[in-house]
Amino acid sequence: MKTLVLYATQYGYTADCAARLKAELVGDVTLVDLGKQSAPELGGYDAVIVGGSIYMGRVQAKVSVFCAAHEGELLQKTLGVFLCCGVPQSLEESLAASFPESLKKHAKAVGCFGGELRTARMKPMHKLIANMMQKAGGKSGIEPPKPNPQAVLDFAAAMNA
């Protein structure tokens, strides 16, 4: 089976998750960072997985634009969608804001791979906002984002089934 994994990443966590996913998927897997490359034609792939990270409640625009432009083609493929999201409680809201309903319903696997604040890679303003949110969250008892490697394994198992 030939699988295409399309994703966008802000600070590298989503790219790391996509690489872990590739290692777990059966068959020939191609990774494409939509922030750096254009997506290839989908015709040569049996399955397509699309994902990104959540900022301000939405996935990166390149992911949303790709899904909207190729919705019909994606509905003809074995499909998976994932998000890297530091607040798993808001996953349903983030999915609704990020992917067309038809794609979510069609997807063989839908996953949330957790999140990770990589402040060393952030621009100063993003770092300031992230630190403020962490302080405010800590006072409210909200846990900071954390990776969920088991979710990547579960997603891959569902796609391989």
Write down the pLDDT at residue 82: 97
Domain range summary for the chain, segments of one domain joined by +: 2-116+146-160
Write down the pLDDT at residue 141: 64
CB 112 within 8 A of CB 148: yes
Q: Which secondary-structure segment (H or E) carries 59?
A: strand 58-59
| Cβ-based neighbour number of residue 52 at 10 Å | 30
Write down the pLDDT at residue 136: 58
- Strand 47-55 to strand 58-59: parallel, antiparallel, or no bridges (unpaired)? antiparallel
Determine the CATH number of domain 2-116+146-160.
Answer: 3.40.50.360
Distance of CA 32 to the CA centre of its chain: 12
The span from the CA of 60 to the CA of 105, in Å, is 20
Q: What is the mean pLDDT of each run of 10 residues along the chain (161 residues)?
A: 95 94 98 96 97 86 96 98 83 90 97 79 67 62 78 98 95
